[in-house]
Amino acid sequence: MKLTKFTHACVRLEKDGKVLVFDPGAFSETEQALAGADAVLITHEHADHIDVDAVVEALLGSASLELFAPAGVAAQLRGKAPGAGSRIHAVAAGEGFETAGFAVRSFGGQHALIHPQIPVVANIGYLVDSNVYHPGDSFIIPDGLEVQTLLVPIHAPWNKVGEVVDFVIGVRAPRAFPVHDALLNPNGLGLVEGHVTRFGAKYGTEYRHLSSGDSVEV
The pLDDT value recorded for residue 184 is 95
Domain count, the chain: 1
Residue 180 lies in a domain: yes
Main-chain dihedrals φ then ψ at residue 92, nearest 5 degrees: -120, 165
- As a whole number, mean pLDDT of residues 6-29 equals 97
pLDDT tens digits, 183-194: 999 999 999 999
CATH of the domain at 101: 3.60.15.10
Alpha helix positions (H), the chain: 30-34, 52-60, 71-80, 161-171, 186-202
CA nearest neighbour of 11 among 176, 203, 201: 176
DSSP 92-137: -TT-EEEETTEEEEEEEEEPPPS-TTSPP-EEEEEEETTTEEE--S
Residue 112 lies in a domain: yes
Residue 217 lies in a domain: no
Bridge partners, 4 (sequence order) = 12, 215
pLDDT tens digits, 32-47: 999 999 999 999 999 9
- As a whole number, mean pLDDT of residues 16-26 equals 98
Residue 84 lies in a domain: yes
Residue 85 lies in a domain: yes
pTM for the complete prediction?
0.96
Structural domain harbouring 109: 2-211
